[in-house]
Amino acid sequence: MDLAFIKMEGAGNDYVYVDGVGRPLPDLDWPEVARRVSDRRFGVGSDGLILIARGERAPFRMIMFNADGSRGEMCGNGMRCLAFYVHAAGYTAAPEFEVETDGGPVRVAILESGRRRGRVRVDMGPPRLEPERIPTTLPGTPVVGAPLEVDGRTVRVAAVSMGNPHCVVFLDENHFGAPLDGLDLEAIGPLFEHHPAFPQRVNTEFVEVEGPDRLRMRVWERGSGETWACGTGACAALVAAALTGRSGRRARVGVRGGELEVEWAAGGHVFLSGPAVEVFRGTFPVEEERV
């Protein structure tokens, strides 16, 4: 069968979306579909696959798969694109609404909406700072400046969950022999992703502080490798920077694909704002194998 899809991106973090709101989702081996469509040579090419469905307690539900087929709890950039799509498609006229995720319900607000491009704010909720909720075996609440043995060297890290686990590495106290743009993430990223201190694997942000309201980062995402942006990662980086006095509670976060705005509000919630863009639509051949 030919599977209809929508390709969207938020600051270069790109996903293939399948609409299960306007029509029922077919009964497929979705992890295998995610692996196939994500392949940048033999598939559509993406950081993963996101299914859009009706929710049980909210209007919509996000079902997310990483490029390797593993299930993801939440994606801030992916959420913005989902919210833009369902609003532009006319599935809701509400400027604010909730979306269910494996990491819990998420509230979104449509800031701008054009034919193929918009801007969305996501209420990411409060950061989870307790080690058991991240989860990590590293000590401290919050986990900041914790020593992590990586490939024979000690790296100082912060750990935060934004519905998924993050390890934040500040380059001002950790030196890898190259500036941010020269880091070999293909070599060092997997060492963090699969570290035993993170039992559910981890997303890792390598962060350069440019000022109290400006961060720059590159990210290695579990199950996808280096991506050009990570919304939850940008939020985790801001939280870690604020906790360690490197920044205020609001900053612009530069990523390879553009720029995101993050605010850790006085009420404790973290808000992520940024672009959502429809790239193109198409169909992809898939096997009609039942799960």
CA distances from 103 to 69, 232, 268 (A): 17, 11, 17
Q: How far apart are CA 128 and CA 124, in angstroms?
A: 11
pTM of the model: 0.91
What is the per-residue pLDDT for 288? Answer: 66
Domain 2-125+276-285 and domain 131-268 have a common topology = yes
Q: How far apart are CA 47 and CA 39, in angstroms?
A: 9
What is the per-residue pLDDT for 177? Answer: 85
Indicate the class that CATH gives domain 2-125+276-285. alpha beta
Q: How far apart are CA 216 and CA 205, in angstroms?
A: 10
What is the per-residue pLDDT for 291? Answer: 40
User: Residue-wise pLDDT tens for the chain (291 aa)?
Assistant: 999 999 999 999 999 999 999 999 999 999 999 999 999 999 999 999 999 999 999 999 999 999 999 999 999 999 999 999 999 999 999 999 999 999 899 999 999 999 899 999 999 999 999 999 999 999 999 999 999 999 999 999 999 999 999 999 999 999 898 999 999 999 999 999 999 999 999 999 999 999 999 999 999 999 999 999 999 999 999 999 999 999 999 999 999 999 999 999 999 999 999 999 999 999 999 976 544
Supply the residues annotated as catalytic.
75, 230
Q: How far apart are CA 20 and CA 15, in angstroms?
A: 15
What is the per-residue pLDDT for 135? Answer: 98
Domain 131-268 fold is Diaminopimelate Epimerase; Chain A, domain 1 (3.10.310)
Cis omega (within 30 of 0) for bond into 135: yes
Cis omega (within 30 of 0) for bond into 142: yes
47-89 tens-digit pLDDT = 999 999 999 999 999 999 999 999 999 999 999 999 999 999 9
Domains in the chain: boundaries: 2-125+276-285, 131-268
Q: How far apart are CA 121 and CA 192, in angstroms?
A: 29
